[in-house]
């Protein structure tokens, strides 16, 4: 690094200037520090003020802000007298604080205008032992002590926009507890957080609030309980419900009776959509959906009716395709910026913001200098102070350009100001709105203001769109992924009995996938879109066919059961299950190659459907089960399995018939042998023992055979053919190796389980 020398030896930091826009009778106080960046000690030094002549134009302000080092003739003499801070010495590398207070009347300010104010350090070094300017810092002093006859009407947009925080995932409970990517949103809305400061600072200002409905919906989701996705993939309960409620309550009170503009839900990237997405089927419909839901979201949560007829492309950069896309969803006003819609006619003044650009569309052109005034690092006091003074100087110069002409100016700052940027913006706006050259106006009024006849209305060509912005755009692949997810969602929702539990969270997640907040964060955006599709795949997979193992069919007909499992908490309907035979000449399903049945399954239940089959030939057959929606779209993967057909042939039947005949003959032979044995025993009579069983004697000694005959007749049955059912079983009888045959008609065949 080169050694600091000359008028750059000492760095002069201007940490505060109060008041920023002084009036008659005020005393200006300038505070800051000086740092010796040289290698020699500075001696006999003092800090003083230099008030130059008033500047004549906005470009002169630009030039003065960019100059470095002391320039004789351009930097005015030092304000004399006692208005200095003295230092006997400042060692190398050492910083010293200073503060100077000067009555405005001592500055010899003339007519209304913007004055250059220099803060310089004069001192000596050992190498150059004489007074010289060793460091200087320039800023601006707007001077408008009395109210202007015609004040500029100024609109300042105050954006409440954040990055995407909410996922598509919800809990399976009745409330559908939302799941957040992390707990960063809670940090932003907590006391001292970025969004908390934006809300607090903006509540004291006269601004037009520009809201992303997704931010409101996300905070609203937090206050009823929420989950946070952890790094290991699990979820844990969020704890900032109270913070969310307090922030929304404060916002609701703040915006009552204020102008509120709602962007389309999740702030879709209009330029990316125009350049890379409009040719992807369905992409423009997402913008329409995001616009339609915006008003209801804001009204429901904040109870105010917002304007939804404004479109805001990134950085206000436009070309014909962006304008066309921006107005395709119903907006008829496009917030552009003057470094995009440039003046070509050499106007010596800044024209009003409203410009008719054809087709009934109005471009509201924000001033580029004012809109970008606070985009730098505002954490340092000197940077913040210089930004405030330059902003005030530029705004006063606009009024001084055409003091008798009423003009309307719009300021559209960065979409997501940091906390320090918001603090600096608020400081500038407070001084600005207390000044004498401007009055506040809301955005709708600015859009309706009479346009300057000589202001440009020609939208720049696509070739002039900034390459730096084009590099940040969402690629075509992002919109293709979004459309793939939408197609899957369309197929999924037709089977649901409660579509809102899925369509609403996924519809909003799809909107978030095309958010402007993904600019410069390509990998995070791609990961989010992948996550939405993956979670949808998981949900659709909860309704599926149960895998089946291969089966065997014996017989000419059988039933094949197929099971549909529904692991969703809600029921599904409008599904058709089709079972198809790949070889219908061998195996028919129903009356043809396939059969299908309507499916309706309650939540967390399964349903089995039986298909009747008939066989014509032996061998393996591939069978395929597939679910379809009622409109004919395949749902989920197919399930295939093999059915082996083993039909009973005539030869087998002949063998079985022969076996049955042999059994009948054997039974008849046993029966005749038993009858002969019984007859022989009856003829022989009793020997010496008790009377034979079943033979009774009368008192006269004759034999009574009536009971014996009755018993024999009873064993024969009504047909007179002996059944043998009550015959005693002999140890030598063979054990049956088949179950008794049924006389009932045979069924359709055996049931085949998986």
∠ CA(359), CA(360), CA(362), 5° rounding?
110
CA dihedral 110, 111, 114, 117 (to 10 degrees): 10
Greatest mean pLDDT among 229-243, 439-453, 639-653 lies in 439-453
Whether 457 shows a pLDDT value over 90: the answer reads yes
**412 vs 77, residue with greater confidence:** 412
Nearest-10 crossing angle of helices 500-512, 476-493: 180
**Cβ atoms of 270 and 325 closer than 8 Å:** yes
Average pLDDT over residues 228-257: 94
Q: How many Cα atoms occupy the beta-carbon half-sphere of 471 within 13 Å?
A: 4
CATH classification of 543-645 is 2.60.40.10, yes or no?
yes
**Strand partners of residue 750:** none
What's the confidence (pLDDT) of residue 551?
85
For 63, the token pair is: 């030039």
What's the confidence (pLDDT) of residue 660?
53
Q: Do 6-143 and 543-645 share a fold?
A: yes
Number of residues written out for the chain = 754
pLDDT per residue over 125-134, tens digit each?
999 999 999 9
**Cβ atoms of 609 and 592 closer than 8 Å:** no
Confidence of residue 616 (pLDDT cuts 50, 70, 90): confident
Whether 699 shows a pLDDT value over 70: the answer reads no
What's the confidence (pLDDT) of residue 730?
36
Long-range contacts of 295-302 (CB under 8 A, 24+ apart): 295/262, 297/213, 297/216, 297/217, 297/262, 297/265, 298/211, 298/213, 298/216, 298/260, 298/262, 301/216, 301/217, 301/220, 301/248, 301/252, 302/216, 302/248, 302/251, 302/252, 302/255, 302/260
Whether 7 shows a pLDDT value over 50: the answer reads yes
Distance CA 447, CA 365 (A): 9
Helix or strand holding residue 370 (H, E): helix 368-371
pLDDT per residue over 289-320, tens digit each?
999 999 999 999 999 999 999 999 999 999 99
**Cβ atoms of 169 and 179 closer than 8 Å:** yes
Q: How many helices (H) and strands (E) does the chain have?
A: 18, 31
Other CB atoms within a 10 A radius of the CB of residue 411 amount to 27
For 385, the token pair is: 């102070």
**Cβ atoms of 260 and 211 closer than 8 Å:** yes
Helix or strand holding residue 623 (H, E): strand 619-629
pTM tops 0.85: no
Average pLDDT over residues 379-408: 96
Q: Which residues contact 161 (CB under 8 A, 6 or more apart)?
A: 210, 211, 212, 215, 263, 267, 415, 416, 517
What percentage of residues in the chain have a pLDDT greater than 90? 76
Whether 94 shows a pLDDT value over 50: the answer reads yes
Average pLDDT over residues 439-467: 95
- How far from chain centre, in Å, is Cα 405? 47
With tokens 């002999």, the residue in question is 730
What's the confidence (pLDDT) of residue 344?
84
Distance CA 555, CA 750 (A): 8
**657 vs 359, residue with greater confidence:** 359
pLDDT per residue over 529-564, tens digit each?
999 999 999 999 999 999 999 988 877 888 999 999
Whether 712 shows a pLDDT value over 70: the answer reads no
Strands 557-566 and 605-615: antiparallel
Angstrom CA distances, 454 to 151, 336, 344, 409, 573, stand at 21, 18, 10, 16, 63
Average pLDDT over residues 270-283: 96
Name which of 66, 181, 65, 70 is nearest 133 in CA terms: 70
pLDDT per residue over 326-381, tens digit each?
999 999 999 999 999 999 877 899 999 999 999 999 999 999 999 999 999 999 99
Which architecture characterizes domain 6-143 according to CATH?
A: Sandwich (2.60)
What's the confidence (pLDDT) of residue 447?
97
**Cβ atoms of 152 and 409 closer than 8 Å:** yes
Least confident of 241-255, 375-389, 611-625, 660-674: 660-674
Whether 10 shows a pLDDT value over 70: the answer reads yes
**Cβ atoms of 403 and 440 closer than 8 Å:** no
- How far from chain centre, in Å, is Cα 710? 94
CATH H-level, domain 152-470: superfamily = Glycoside hydrolase 38, N terminal domain (3.20.110.10)
Nearest-10 crossing angle of helices 283-302, 476-493: 70
Strands 354-356 and 543-545: unpaired
For 667, the token pair is: 């039974």
Q: What are phi and psi of 284, to 5 degrees?
A: -65, -30
Angstrom CA distances, 189 to 200, 251, 252, 331, stand at 11, 11, 14, 30
Whether 382 shows a pLDDT value over 70: the answer reads yes
Domain ranges of the chain: 6-143, 152-470, 476-540, 543-645
**Cβ atoms of 734 and 543 closer than 8 Å:** no
pLDDT per residue over 40-73, tens digit each?
999 999 999 999 889 999 999 999 999 888 888 7
Whether 734 shows a pLDDT value over 50: the answer reads no
What percentage of residues in the chain have a pLDDT greater than 70? 86
Over the chain, what is the mean pLDDT?
87
């Amino acid at each position: 690094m080169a050694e600091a020398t000359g008028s750059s030896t000492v760095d002069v930091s201007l940490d505060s200037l109060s008041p920023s826009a002084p009036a008659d009778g005020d005393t200006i106080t300038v505070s800051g520090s000086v740092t010796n960046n040289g290698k020699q000690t500075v001696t006999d030094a003092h800090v003083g003020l230099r008030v130059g002549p008033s500047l004549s134009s906005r470009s002169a302000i630009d030039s003065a802000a960019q100059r470095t080092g002391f320039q004789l003739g351009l930097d005015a003499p030092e304000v004399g007298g006692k208005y200095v801070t003295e230092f006997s010495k400042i060692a190398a590398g050492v910083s010293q604080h200073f503060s100077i207070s000067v009555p405005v009347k001592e500055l010899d300010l003339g007519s209304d205008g913007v004055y250059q104010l220099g803060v310089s350090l004069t001192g000596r070094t050992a190498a150059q032992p004489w007074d010289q300017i060793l460091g200087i810092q320039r800023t601006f002093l707007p001077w408008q002590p009395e109210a202007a006859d015609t004040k500029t009407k100024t609109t300042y947009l105050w954006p409440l926009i954040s990055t995407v925080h909410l996922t598509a995932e919800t809990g399976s409970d009745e409330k559908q507890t939302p799941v957040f990517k992390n707990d960063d949103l809670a940090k932003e809305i907590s006391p001292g957080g970025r969004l908390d400061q934006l809300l607090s600072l903006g509540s004291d200002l006269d601004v037009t609030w520009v809201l992303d409905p997704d931010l409101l919906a996300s905070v609203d989701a937090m206050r009823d309980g929420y989950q946070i996705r952890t790094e290991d993939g699990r979820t844990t309960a969020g704890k900032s419900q109270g913070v969310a409620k307090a922030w929304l309550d404060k916002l609701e009170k703040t915006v009552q009776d204020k102008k509120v503009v709602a962007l389309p839900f999740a702030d879709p990237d209009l330029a990316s959509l125009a350049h890379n997405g409009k040719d992807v089927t369905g992409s423009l419909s997402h913008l329409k959906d995001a616009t339609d839901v915006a008003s209801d979201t804001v009204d429901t949560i904040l109870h105010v009716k917002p304007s939804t007829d404004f479109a805001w492309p990134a950085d206000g950069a436009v070309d014909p395709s962006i304008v066309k896309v921006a107005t395709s969803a119903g907006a008829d006003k496009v917030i552009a910026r003057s470094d995009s819609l440039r003046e070509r006619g050499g106007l010596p003044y800044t024209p009003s913001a409203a410009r008719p650009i054809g087709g009934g569309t109005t471009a509201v052109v924000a001033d580029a200098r004012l809109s970008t005034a606070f985009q730098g690092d505002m954490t340092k006091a000197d940077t913040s102070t210089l930004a405030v003074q330059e902003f005030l100087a530029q705004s006063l110069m606009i009024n001084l350009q055409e003091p008798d002409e009423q003009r309307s100016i719009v300021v559209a700052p960065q979409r997501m100001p940091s906390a320090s940027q918001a603090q600096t913006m608020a400081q500038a706006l407070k001084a600005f709105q207390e000044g004498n050259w401007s009055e506040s106006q809301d955005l709708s009024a600015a859009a309706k203001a009479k346009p300057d006849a000589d202001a440009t209305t020609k939208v720049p060509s696509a070739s002039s769109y900034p390459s730096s912005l084009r590099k940040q755009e969402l690629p075509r692949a992002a919109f293709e992924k979004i459309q793939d997810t939408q197609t899957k969602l369309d197929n999924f929702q037709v089977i649901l009995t409660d579509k809102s539990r899925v369509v609403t969270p996924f519809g909003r997640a799809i909107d978030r996938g095309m958010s402007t907040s993904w600019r410069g964060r390509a990998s995070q955006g791609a990961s989010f879109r992948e996550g939405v599709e993956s979670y949808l795949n998981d949900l659709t997979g909860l309704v599926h066919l149960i895998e089946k193992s291969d089966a065997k069919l014996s017989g000419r007909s059988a039933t094949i059961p197929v099971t549909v499992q529904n692991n969703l908490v809600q029921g599904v309907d409008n599904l058709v299950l089709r079972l198809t035979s790949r070889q219908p000449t061998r195996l028919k399903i129903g009356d043809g190659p396939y059969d299908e049945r309507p499916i309706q399954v309650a939540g967390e239940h399964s349903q089995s459907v039986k298909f009747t089959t008939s066989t014509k030939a032996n061998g393996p057959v591939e069978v395929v089960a597939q679910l379809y929606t009622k409109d004919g779209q395949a749902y989920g993967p197919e399930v295939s399995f093999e059915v082996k057909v083993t039909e009973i042939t005539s030869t087998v039947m002949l063998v079985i018939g022969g076996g049955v005949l042999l059994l009948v003959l054997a039974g008849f032979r046993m029966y005749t042998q038993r009858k002969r044995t019984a007859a022989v025993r009856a003829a022989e009579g009793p020997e010496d023992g008790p009377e034979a069983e079943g033979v009774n004697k009368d008192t006269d000694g004759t034999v009574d055979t009536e009971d014996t005959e009755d018993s024999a007749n009873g064993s024969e049955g009504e047909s007179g053919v002996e059944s043998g059912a009550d015959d005693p079983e002999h140890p030598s009888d063979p054990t049956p190796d088949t179950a008794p045959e049924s006389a009932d008609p045979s069924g359709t065949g055996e049931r085949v389980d998986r």
